[in-house]
Structure 1
């Protein structure tokens, strides 16, 4: 399979190889750790070298499903399954481990599971792995601080470390090779055939796992659309309220919901919703041949104005107005608020939490719309949202053992391995109902969490077969939205902004709060944008322009 074709521009190749970003301040971290960016004259590769490096670095990909989905993918949307295959098949022929003992650091946005020795799930999986992985699970809400603390002292880096893309620390791209294992020679070209489940992953996921032109990350592939606006369909129907279809009706619906006597409010903080509705990109976009930052866009101002109206109407929960967003899901799930924005993964997590005590709970994603009610513009999610990294290791056999374990974890839906990772042990963590669908018990809900899955993951599918109506609703929702999805300008490019720009956006986060809460006038935004340009914004624009050449 030729991974370099007319659809891949030289601009994107530069991004894959870290040119521009990888060349900044390497001396501070003692070098790039095997950067391909240094192999050409002045650190810039020729066109032939670019092609050779990318073709050598990206694994081959089969992109195939072992089991055909009940709801196929549409334009890249997530496929879905509502039934369990019978029988399950083996995803890996041999025991992957060789008796190694390894430490793993991983985040959790839920109650941390019991530790090794007190967790039957860990015991069962480790037995199948033929190795012992000891997880050190940290609070996902403060995980960025934990990552930076650990990386500041390399001797404390675990054997395997999970880092979500949003927790990648400043200057990571410069020193990644000093801490983590370069996997390129193990995975590039024909070498990937030793890991058939990893070979099935989309090439875009592998491209995004490259830093300085080398493969360092193991990918947890992302979805076409990563965020949604959720509403309580069950309570909307009780109240006789229809979902909104434009910005004005959205505001009307939120106001109609309010009943302070019943402790019911319209929504949580909808700033992310406003940005989706007004099609605000995450970084620069190209307009009339120029790079324009979201802060400079008229739509950004309009999104703030809409959010301000929501708050002025009294629809937003007072705690959300005060910035207390931590309990937002609790408020939404208990019916104190009826609309919130969240990642699409939060949909089934809410069902798992709430359905045992409230079987009527029905969380639904809104079909999105532009402010005037027209078709929305939605930006494709990054190919990978979570990476795992292996600690730098001179023992090549240990690296291969860990990659075999990663390959085992990347077994697809329909395999015994996927079943064990997702549900645990039958009779201990779950029982099958009359349709063969696993139903988790209390021990399963306590012990079976996303730990091993964060190490490596097959291509994303929706296989929450215990919630068939959710699988249908979510896959059909994403399929409908898929026709409105566009690639952001720098899609698939692993760009890490230099640390000098790290605090540029913070004043705008604060300013959005101040304007929407009535403490400042919208005119303050224009002044802030001018200050942003002169204090580094224009330099940041020049930095991104390097990836346009």
Structure 2
């Protein structure tokens, strides 16, 4: 997972984002209005078991289609090599000469794929070095949003993109994208984050808008006889106290975001008649801090959750913590890594309204996990690389997707109960990071577990109709691109001081004043200007 983007988008305490999915979101905006995005052309070749909708509910599959659809008859490339700078949240895989999966990938794409695979923790430093050296690869998964703002060598983000990166507008705008049908199959919302300088400057890795949720261990909560769907904050607090005990905690981390949703607070900003107000400026946020600090003090939050890179997912899987706030994409990961065996069962706990009386609205997530830029090149090379990316975007249900995600049958995975189960060779060899170059539309699928897939689908179906979008999504603020790391540190440190009991809730007013004067007000101003120019 990548802490960089979401940590400083939300200002959440470091431990609260330890389970976020990989990738650093871009948040750009066109500098010239009227960009024609790719014409959305859904791929008709595969039908889901449970249908999504235009609100953002994802398609769901109870098993992998059999036989899978063969999407390509020939490799997308005709020899040569392709260089790419990619990230990974997994251990770096074996080099190509020791990696049968990588070798087979090269054969199937028809080119020598030369990857620089960078762990998330090293991405900011490595990207800065890449930019400083000015010897760019063909495809770059950019670490443009880092803990320290823009990387060294990027004085102005749109200018850097215009100077070094390929404008893809002539090849992808409107119906032109139909030449690359699996790129045209990507949802429109994902392309909005690829707009720079009046053009399309990136290829998106799209994700659903379902966002993050409070996962619960249903198998363990059942043994306590508690109501797994508390109807108010008071009932939630009581549940947390009831299930906590020696060497067991209700919560893997302080549930600041979850309680914020109960209090009808925005994710980042709320548009109040053209004026933006940050979540941190509402009085209700101090209530969320006070409540979460009491949960910490009462022993219901794991005491080590404030340490960097706390293994919150392992606590959840081991049953040491029974609740964890994480992105919806963690659903299949929890099942893949569970150590409880067949009894393991999880689901989502919807946030109730703080004082009861129904369900609170959740937050829509950004539709783009990250995006990839192409270095400047000629038209022929640009089209070759787009053909490769079109292959990399082959959707769920195709042979190409199955290989790209899981490897070679019998070597890297075996089909079990309608889902691919990876071998250890599959886990170690396939983590090349190519899924962060571009990816197919996300789907809901827990391999080999149709019941879990259905639960995930039903949860998303329950929250998406009322989920609230952030008004600044896909807008660009130069101050935010430069100062988000500094601003995030102010917020994170201030929250940690209060949640851990080092400072009183009243100290939050000073934190907000510091945040505003350091750049928060300037970010607000620029986002408001971007809103008016849409």
Give the TM-score category using the shorter length.
0.7 to 0.9
Q: More displaced, 295-304 or 522-531?
A: 522-531
CA, structure 1 residues 467+297, in 2 after alignment: closer, same or farther (shift >3 Å)?
same
1:488 maps to which of 465, 470, 474: 470
- How many angstroms apart in 2 are the aligned matches of 1:271 and 1:438? 36
Per-residue deviation, 1:370? 2.6
* Post-superposition offset of 1:119: 1.6
| 2:529 corresponding residue in structure 1 | 546
Change in 2 beyond 3 A, CA 1:246/1:174: farther
Question: 1:403–1:167: structure 2 CA closer, same or farther, 3 Å change rule?
Answer: farther
Which residue of 2 is the match for residue 332 of structure 1?
316
Change in 2 beyond 3 A, CA 1:235/1:165: farther
Structure 1 distance, partners of 2:174, 2:238, is 56
Please state whether the residue corresponding to 2:96 is helix, strand or coil.
Answer: coil
**Cα distance change on mapping 1:71 and 1:160 into 2, 3 Å:** same
Contact 1:164–1:385 (8 Å) recurs in 2: no
Q: CA deviation at 1:164?
A: 6.5
Q: Select between 280-289 and 306-315 the one with higher mean Cα deviation.
A: 280-289
Offset of residue 127 of structure 1: 1.0
Q: Which residue of 1 aligns with 2:428?
A: 446
Aligned Cα root-mean-square deviation (Å): 2.4
2:277 corresponds to which of 262, 271, 292: 292
1:179 correspondence with 2:161:
no
Alignment of 1:51-130 (within 5 A): 51=34, 54-55=35-36, 58-74=37-53, 75-130=55-110
Shift of 1:81: 0.4
Does residue 134 in structure 1 map to residue 114 in structure 2?
yes
Q: Measure, in 2, the Cα distance between the counterparts of 1:397 and 1:460.
A: 30
Q: Structure 1: which 5+ residue stretches go unaligned?
A: 1-14, 20-36, 38-49
Alpha-carbon distance in 1 for matches of 2:144, 2:56: 21
- Is residue 2:285 matched to residue 1:281? no
Asked if 1:312 is matched to 2:294, the reply is no
Cα distance change, pair 333–498 in 1 and its aligned pair in 2 (3 A): closer
**Are 1:219 and 2:198 an aligned pair?**
no
Q: Deviations over 1:224-244 (max 9, x none)?
A: 112111121111122333323
Match of 2:192 among 195, 203, 207: 207
Instruction: Please state how far the C-alpha of 1:323 moved relative to its aligned partner.
Output: 2.5
1:545 alignment partner, SS class: helix
The answer to whether the 8 Å contact 2:43/2:181 transfers is no
Question: Cα–Cα, structure 1 residues 148 and 239, in superposed 2: closer, same or farther, change >3 Å?
Answer: farther
Residues in 2 aligned to 1:147 and 1:326: alpha-carbon distance in whole angstroms: 25
Correspondence 1:86-485 to 2 at 5 A: 86-155=66-135, 157-163=136-142, 167=146, 169-170=149-150, 171-243=156-228, 244-260=230-246, 263-269=247-253, 270-287=255-272, 290-320=275-305, 322-354=306-338, 358-373=341-356, 374-393=358-377, 395-433=378-416, 436-449=418-431, 451-485=433-467
Matched residues in 2 for 1:403 and 1:347: separation?
A: 31
Per the alignment, in what secondary structure is the counterpart of residue 483 of structure 1?
A: helix
TM-score, structure 1 normalization: 0.84
Q: Distance in 1 between matches of 2:233 and 2:196?
A: 40
Q: Are the counterparts in 2 of residues 105 and 161 from structure 1 also a CA contact under 8 Å? A: yes
What do residues 118-138 of structure 1 show as CA deviations (whole Å, max 9, x unaligned)? 222212222111012133322
Deviates more, 1:462-471 or 1:402-411: 462-471
Partner Cα distance (1:527, 1:16) in 2:
30
Range with bigger deviation, 457-466 or 209-218: 457-466
Contact 1:383–1:492 (CA<8 Å) still a contact in 2? no
Distance 1:540 1:256, change over 3 A: same
Contact 2:275/2:528 (<8 A) preserved: no
Q: Aligned partners of 1:383, 1:495: CA distance in 2, in Å?
A: 18
Contact 2:296 2:500 in 1 (8 A): yes
What runs of 5+ residues in structure 2 fail to find an aligned partner?
1-26, 151-155
Alignment check: 8 A CA contact 1:182 1:216 kept = yes
**Displacement, 1:111?**
2.3
Distance 1:532 1:92, change over 3 A: same
| Corresponding position of 1:46 | none
Separation in 2, partners of 1:252, 1:212: 52
Output the TM-score relative to the length of structure 2.
0.86
In structure 2, which of residues 30, 54, 58 is the aligned counterpart of residue 18 of structure 1? 30
Paired residues of 1:104 and 1:159 also in contact (CA < 8 A): yes
**CA distance 1:325–1:86, change in 2 (3 Å):** closer
Residue 83 (structure 1) shift: 2.3
Assess if the C-alpha contact under 8 Å between 2:169 and 2:200 holds in 1: yes
| Structure of larger gyration radius | 1
Moved more, 62-71 or 303-312: 62-71
Question: Structure 1 80/294 Cα, relative in aligned 2: closer, same or farther at 3 Å?
Answer: same
Moved more, 377-386 or 473-482: 377-386
Contact kept, 8 Å, 1:368 with 1:481, in 2: the verdict is no
Equivalences, count? 495
SS at match of 1:359: helix
Question: Match of 1:407, SS?
Answer: helix
**Conserved 8 A contact 2:93-2:432:** no
TM-superposed deviation, 1:177: 2.3
Contact 1:81 1:465 in 2 (8 A): no
